[in-house]
Every structure is written in structure tokens, then in C-alpha cells.
Chain A
Amino acid sequence: MSKRVDFAIISDWIDQGSHILDLACGDGTLLSNLQKEKQVRGYGLDINPQNIQNCIERGVNVLEQNIDQGLGNFGDQSFDTVIMTQALQALQYPHLALDEMLRVGRECIVTFPNFGHWRCRWHLATKGRMPVSKFMPYTWYDTPNIHFCTFKDFEDLCRQKKLKIINRMVTDGLNRGGWRTHLLPNLMGEVAIYHLTRGE
């Protein structure tokens, strides 16, 4: 079992034997865990050679494919759940990616870092500089993260797109979110995990 708390939460939200597509699947840890715990079938997509190698070694189906170029090779509603962890902010068109995820999947699960977290706000307010932290360690000019948002921003987008939020969870990076993250998620939460489907 992975130590990553977002993976544990995602696993709770996945049905046994589901058909899963994991976008920007990284080294395949999540899919590998889901294969063992939930007997899921499916594929991971990634473009990083080392990640792809790790997936192969783990026995995870991995396809070298750039999500920014769409998911045109996947049929409508061909997956139960499409997952994307910590990649939304690195995409060229996050809003279009969401559309694609819910075209090829019945449901999707997205996780992303919260730019509204108090530390980011504090950094920007006191130093007047773009936040750099252990969690987001890049300088502004060479960061892969080009579309930051806050939880509020994301929920606005979901409303605009008439997406239904089945479930959401905010973590402070280490835990499943204590009372602080429940009370003030947009201020105290570091990572958001959203479980979405198309609204009726």
C-alpha cells in the first residue's frame, strides 16, 4: 500500500473490477495498487520514459501518449473511471481534458494542488514572490505547472460545465484532512481530490 494519502482515498472510491484509465500515471504505483486491491483492468498514460519503464517493470499496461493531444483514440464511455492525479495543473487545456475524461469515462477522479492554501497566500503576501515550497518546488519560469487554481476556481469550472461532484476530499498532504481542512478547505487544504460525473 502506498503511503500517498490521495491514493488511499482514490482506492476507496474505485469499484472492484473496474475498467480504469490513469492519465499521467507516473511510475504506475496507483494502478499497480488498484490491480492488487480492486482487481481493476486498464491502462496508464504517460510521456516520461523513466515512468514508462517503471510501469512496465511493475506489470502495469502503459501507453506512451501525450494527454495534451487528446484522448481521441479512446471510445466514448469506454472506462468506468478516468483518473488524473497531480497533472491537471500541468496541462495545456485543463478544461478540455476534463471534457475528454468524462467523454471516455463514466466518472473521473482528479487531484490537484490548491493554490489557495494558506502557505501560498502567505508566501505571495509577505514576499511578493511566486510560492516555492517542498510541495511545489519549481521556479516560475521552468515549472511544468502552468495552470494553477484554487479549490474555489475548480468548483466554478465544475459548475460551468454542469459536472456533478460525487465526492470530494481535501488533504493537507499527509493526512486525510483534519478539522481544519474541513472547516476551511480552500485555506487549509493542500491537495484536493474530486470525484466527478456528468450532471443530469
Chain B
Amino acid sequence: MPEDIPADSVGLVEPQTIHFDQPLQLSCGQILNEYDLVIETYGELNAQMSNGILICHALSGHHHAAGYHSMEDRKPGWWDNFIGPGKPLDTDQFFIVSLNNLGGCHGSTGPTSINPETGKCYGSDFPMVTVEDWVESQARLADHLGIKQWAAVVGGSLGGMQTLYWSMAHPERLRHAVVIASASKLSAQNIAFNEVARQAIRSDENFRDGQYLEQGTLPKSGLGLARMVGHITYLSDDAMGQKFGRELKNEEFSFDYGVQFQIESYLRYQAENFSGNFDANTYLLMTRALDYFDPARKFNDDLSEALSSASANFLLVSFTTDWRFSPERSREIVDALLEAGKQVSYLEVDAPQGHDAFLMNIPRYVNAVAGYMKRIAAECKEASA
């Protein structure tokens, strides 16, 4: 709980729900006739409407990126260390928009919403959505907000994929693309981890073919297990070793399968916490969206061809110990951008935290994003002068 709101916080924020009644054609062939998107905004849109920044969230993210919902909140939004007055994504300079993607479970239309056609929860009947669909829905959100062109679209991991797709699908609608710890497609190993997570959920007897909400159950152990697998892959061996080592919960072995090591206790805590706050169908859907993303596929696997339409300036950042979205994956994007003759800067930040690094206060990373955003802020000012 924040006793006082810190001076560099956006403070108390309130989510808004925006209803869209223009049908959205999805990649899977289905149509969403109407849907809601929950968003939060921080900072002020300038008169030219040129200082908008869109934040795209990762697998388990949502619209609450910064500030507090109430004075009783234990923690601020998930990227509060980056968003606020004077922070890298400076709310004194920018109008920052953060949303919960379609299919999410934090208020935007998704598996936990009521299907207007049946009056029941969608559950597993919610259509599968893709990165492309999200970007389309985000473009409609931009229309709704009156933003013709974002100063920047910013995202890490799965959010970076949305950012990348924005640059290809709507080149005229963003001036900068900041793609952090991301990839233009998942590797086989990555898809394999996602499949283990999905199997954990789907084989939970409480999953009930995805209609658990209707049947009053929750596949908590499956979702928890899925999160455990995810968590292991988000940390580096070093980071885990440093944080937990072989530390025991009690001094002696108890010769059973209860929690013995600190790492077990941590994983179980994360599993318990997550499975109480996240929807299993959403988790399935988001991991599938990750698997499917491969914009080069339509261009004979030529990523630079796929990026040829892009006109944004790119900043890419990767982290040395990130093995889930390794530096190689970022360099593939950089090389494709070079081949296509695009404007790009690339940073490989030495950090021990693994994939999780993209959410953390790593000075070099923070400074680079801050430095890049300052240039963008200056451009916005020059253009409006």
C-alpha cells in the first residue's frame, strides 16, 4: 500500500471501458460483432494529437501499467518503473495508452465475458485471437481516441510482436517502434514450452473442456503448473541460482514431497497467486497467439520483405541471459530491418535476470529507452512549434 503516492507516480488512475460495435473480422474466420476494450491513459494528449504512445502488453499483462487504483493497492501497475512524470515513458511529455487485449481476463471482452448470443460465459467458445487481430482492435482504439499517428508503439515480449506488426500493417500510423526482448516468431523450443503449459491446463479435471466457469469449477492446479513452467523459462539459471540457490525451507530434509527447497516454495507461491487471478482460457489463447505469430510466413519466410512496408524508426533491445527471447531473435529482426534499409538502433544489454529483465530497472536499459523517448518528445515539440 502506498502511504503517500510517490512524486514520480502517475498517481491514482481509473480504467475506462470502451465499447466497439463495428464487427471485427478475426484471423480465425470468426467475427466478433461487438466487444469492449478496457484501457488506462496517463498524461495529456497535446493539441496536435501527436504525442500518443501505445503500450502493448505481454502474455499475462493488462491495461493497468502504471499508478494505483486505490490507496489500498499493494503494488502499482506492471510497468510503473517506466511510466510516470520524469520516467523513461514520461507522462509530462506523452499521452500513454495501455489496454487489455481482446481475449484477456481483466475486463476486455474475452473468455470470461458473457456471450451476447447465449447469455452465458464464452469460456472456450471465445474465438481464437491473434497478434494481427489485436493490432486491428488497437487501431480502432486509436481511431476512437482521435490518434491518427502514434509517436511510438512500445512493447516487450508478446507486446514487441504487436509493435512489430503495427509497423508492417499500419506504417503510416506510428513514427517509432520500440521492440523489447521479442522475436519475429517463436522457436520450436518456445512452442514446446507453451504446449506443456497448455497440456497442464487442459488435462486438469476441473478444466471441463474450457467451460469451467459455467460448471462452477476452476482448473487452478493446471493453470498454476502452466505458470510454473513459464516462470522457469523467464529466469536465467544464474538469476535463479542467485535468488534461491539450494536454500532449504527448513534445516533438515523431511524425506517427502512437500516443499523442501526455497525455489519450490517460490514456484508454488507464484502458481497459487497466478491461478487465482488469471483465466485459464485466456492463458491458452495468449500462448497460441504467441505460437502463431510469424509475419514473414506470407512473404516466403522473408522477414525483410515482410518489413518492407514499414516506415517507423525502430529501437530494439535484448538481454544477454534471456533464453526465452534470446538476443539472436532480436538480431534476426535487426538484420531484416537492415536488409530492408530501415532506420534502426539495437542494444544488447548485459543483464543476469533472463527474460524478466525487460520489466526491470536495469540502468543501461532504462537510460537507453529514456534517451530514445527524449528524442521523440523533442520531435513532437519541433513539429508543433
Interface residues in chain A, defined as those with a beta carbon under 8 Å from any beta carbon in chain B: 19, 41, 43, 49, 52-53, 55-57, 59, 61-65, 73-75, 78
- Whether, in the assembled complex, B20 has its beta carbon less than 8 Å from a beta carbon of chain A, the answer is no
The smallest beta-carbon distance between B152 and chain A, in angstroms, is 14
Chain B residues with Cβ below 8 Å from A41 are 343
Q: Are B338 and A57 in contact (CB under 8 A)?
A: no
- Tell me which residues from 303 to 351 in chain B have a Cβ below 8 Å from any Cβ of chain A: 313, 315, 331, 334-335, 338-339, 341, 343-348
Whether, in the assembled complex, B374 has its beta carbon less than 8 Å from a beta carbon of chain A, the answer is: yes
CA distance A78 to B339 in the complex (A): 9
Q: Is the CB of A53 within 8 A of B364?
A: yes
Top 6 nearest A-B pairs (CB, nearest first) are A57-B371, A56-B371, A73-B335, A63-B346, A64-B348, A62-B345
**Complex CA distance for A53 and B345, rounded to whole angstroms:** 10
Task: Sort chain B's interface into a size bin.
Answer: 20 to 34
A63 touches B368 (CB 8 A): no
Q: Distance (Å) between the CB of B378 and the closest chain A CB? A: 9
- Whether a CB of chain A sits under 8 angstroms from the CB of B375 is yes
- Give the one of A43, A62, A64 with max B CB within 10 A: A64
**For residue B339, which residue of chain A has the nearest CB?**
A75
Which of B331, B338, B343, B368 lies in contact with A53, CB distance below 8 A? B368
Cβ of A63 and Cβ of B367 under 8 Å apart?
no
Closest chain A residue to B347, Cβ basis: A64
List A contacts of B338 (CB < 8 A): 43, 63, 73-74, 78
Q: How far is the CA of A49 from the CA of B364 in the complex (A)?
A: 8
A62 CB to nearest chain B CB (Å): 5
CB 8 Å contact bits of B355-385 with A (1 = contact, 0 = none): 0000000001001100110110000000000
What chain B residues lie within 8 Å of A74 (beta carbons)? Answer: 338
Interface residues in chain B, defined as those with a beta carbon under 8 Å from any beta carbon in chain A? 313, 315, 331, 334-335, 338-339, 341, 343-348, 364, 367-368, 371-372, 374-375
Residues of A within 8 A of B347 (CB): 52, 64
A63 touches B375 (CB 8 A): no
> In the complex the two chains form, is A61's CB within 8 Å of B343's CB?
yes
**A65 to B341 CA separation, bound complex (whole angstroms):** 17
| B335 with A57: CB separation less than 8 A | no
A33 and B105 alpha carbons, distance in the complex (Å): 50
**Distance, CA A41 to CA B341, complexed state (A):** 9
Residue of A at shortest CB range from B332? A73
By a CB distance below 8 angstroms, the chain A residues around B375 are 56-57, 59
From A19, A53, A61, A63, B371 is in contact (CB under 8 Å) with A53
Q: Are A55 and B345 in contact (CB under 8 A)?
A: yes
Write the nearest CB–CB distance from B102 to chain A, whole angstroms.
33
Contact A57 B374 (CB under 8 A): yes
27 contacts between A and B (CB under 8 A): A41-B343, A43-B338, A43-B344, A49-B364, A52-B368, A53-B364, A53-B367, A53-B371, A55-B345, A56-B345, A56-B371, A56-B372, A56-B375, A57-B374, A59-B375, A61-B344, A61-B345, A62-B346, A63-B334, A63-B344, A64-B347, A73-B331, A73-B334, A73-B335, A73-B338, A74-B338, A75-B339
- Measured between alpha carbons, how far is A62 from B367 in the docked complex, in Å? 15
Question: Taking CB as reference atom, which chain A residue is nearest B367?
Answer: A53
Residues of B within 8 A of A57 (CB): 371, 374-375
Minimum Cβ distance to chain A for residue B143 (Å): 30
- A63 to chain B: which residues have CB within 8 Å? 334, 338, 344-346
Q: CA A59 – CA B382 in complex, angstroms?
A: 14
Least Cβ–Cβ distance between A46 and chain B, in angstroms: 11
Inter-chain contacts of B344 with A (CB < 8 A):
43, 61, 63
User: Smallest CB-CB separation from A58: which chain B residue?
Assistant: B375
Give the shortest distance, in Å, between B333 (CB) and chain A (any CB).
11
The answer to whether A56 touches B368, judged by C-beta atoms less than 8 angstroms apart, is yes
Contact indicator A64/B346 (Cβ below 8 Å): yes
Cβ–Cβ < 8 Å partners of B368 in chain A? 52-53, 56
